[in-house]
Amino acid sequence: AQTVTQSQPEMSVQEAETVTLSCTYDTSESDYYLFWYKQPPSRQMILVIRQEAYKQQNATENRFSVNFQKAAKSFSLKISDSQLGDAAMYFCAYRSPGPSGGGADGLTFGKGTHLIIQP
């Protein structure tokens, strides 16, 4: 079974600074998908960024980027120019491709990192 570990229960960063959230995972599969989700106080989980394991290039979405190290099974999230609206719980998640290469597999989540933005 896959496991996802987020070793930082809480992180704090000054507004406009850069912060990196760490995530490691354990799997025996070679093909899979990794995600970072954000959960603000509204409780809705919002996708921040997605990485496909077969792609070597790190995914980037505006101020959000990942450092994907497949051999090390590491998938960290970097937030540049932190804004007050970035304050939330951040969850790293893993998804298998599924038996049909895209089956209805749920995500395996880490415990989350609470990100605090200091004004």
Q: What is the contact surface with other proteins in residues (CB under 8 A)?
A: 4, 33, 35, 37, 42-47, 50, 91, 95, 97-98, 100-112
| CB nearer other proteins, residue 99 or residue 119 | 99
d(CA 89, CA 20): 13
| CB nearer other proteins, residue 18 or residue 60 | 60
d(CA 65, CA 62): 8
| CB nearer other proteins, residue 70 or residue 95 | 95
Cβ 93 to other proteins shortest distance, Å: 8
Cβ 15 to other proteins shortest distance, Å: 26
d(CA 32, CA 99): 12
Q: Across the chain, how many H-helices and E-strands are there? A: 0, 12
Cβ 23 to other proteins shortest distance, Å: 12
Tell me the two tokens of residue 54. Answer: 């077969």
Cβ 106 to other proteins shortest distance, Å: 4
End-to-end alpha-carbon separation of the chain, Å? 41
